[in-house]
Structure 1
Amino acid sequence: MVKVVTFGEVMLRLATMRRERFTQAREFEVTYGGGECNVAVSLAQFGVDATFVTAIPDNDIGQSCINYIRQFGVDTSEILRQGQRLGTYYLESGAAMRASKVVYDRAASSIAEIQTGDVDWKKVFDGADWFHFTGITPAISKNAAEVCVEAAKAAKELGLTVSADMNYRKNLWSPKEAQATMIPMMQYVDVSIGNEEDAEKCLGIAAEGVDVTVGEIDPEAYRPVVQALVDKFGFKKVAITLRESFSADDNGWSAIYFDGDEILVGRKYPVRIVDRVGGGDSFCAAMIYGLLQDGWDSRQVLDFAVASSAMSHTFHGDFNLVSVKEVMAVAGGDTSGRVQR
Structure 2
Amino acid sequence: MGQVVTFGEIMLRLAPNGYYRFFQDDQLQATFGGGEANVAISLANFGIDVSYVTKLPSNSIGDGAVSELRKFGVDTKNITRGGNRVGIYFLEKGASQRGSVCIYDRAHSAIQEACVDDFDWDKIFNKAEWFHFTGITPALGDNLVEICEIACKKAKERKIKISCDLNYRGKLWSREKARKAMSRLCKYVDVCISNEEDAKDVFGIEAANSDIYGGHLDKEGYKSVAEQLKEKFDFEKVAITLRTSISANDNNWSGMLYDGKEFYFSKEYNLHIVDRVGGGDSFGAGLIYACLNNMSEQDIIEFAVAASALKHSIEGDFNRVSVSEVRKLMCGDASGRVQR
The correspondence of residues 145-156 of structure 1 with structure 2, limited to 5 A, is 145-156=145-156
1:232-287 deviation line (CA, Å, top 9, x unaligned): 11001000101111111111111110023201111110001000000000000000
**In 2, are the aligned partners of 1:214 and 1:244 still within 8 Å (CA)?**
no
Q: What one-letter code is carried by the residue in structure 1 that aligns with 2:142? A: K
Q: How many residues align?
A: 340
Offset from partner CA, 1:170-220 (integer Å, 9 cap, x none): 101111110011111111100000101111112232212322112231210
Alignment of 1:1-341 (within 5 A): 1-294=1-294, 296-341=295-340
Q: Percent identity?
A: 51
Paired amino acid for 2:299:
Q
Between the aligned partners of 1:185 and 1:64, the Cα distance in structure 2 is 31
Distance 1:89 1:251 in 2: 24
SS in 2 for 1:58: coil
Matched residue SS, 1:14: strand
CA contact (8 A) 2:89 2:104 kept: yes
CA contact (8 A) 2:239 2:255 kept: yes
- 1:316-341 superposed Cα distances (whole Å, 9 cap, x missing partner): 00001110000000000001111112
Rate the CA distance shift 1:330–1:24 in 2: closer, same or farther, 3 A: same
Cα root mean square deviation, aligned: 0.9
User: Aligned partners of 2:239 and 2:21: how far apart in 1?
Assistant: 34
Indicate the SS of the match to 1:177: helix
- CA deviation after TM superposition for structure 1 residue 25, in Å: 2.9
Structure 2 stretches of 5 or more lacking a match?
Answer: none
One-letter code aligned to 2:309: A
- 8 Å contact from structure 2 (residues 17, 25) kept in 1: yes
Distance 1:125 1:203 in 2: 29
Taking the aligned partners of 2:241 and 2:264, their CA distance within structure 1 comes to 12
For 1:264, what is the secondary structure of its paired residue? Answer: strand
Q: Secondary structure at the match of 2:128?
A: coil
Matches of 1:145 and 1:235, distance apart in 2? 20
Check the 8 A contact 1:97/1:247 in 2, yes or no: yes
Deviation at 1:132, TM superposition (A): 0.2
Give, as a single letter, the amino acid of the residue that structure 1 aligns with 2:64: S
TM-score normalised to structure 1 length:
0.98
Does the residue aligned with 1:4 lie in a helix, a strand or coil? strand
Deviations 1:6-57 (A, max 9, x none): 0000000001112111131311111101000000000001100010000011
Which letter maps to 1:325? S
Other structure's SS at 1:23 match: coil
For the Cα contact (< 8 Å) 2:11–2:34, is it kept in 1?
yes
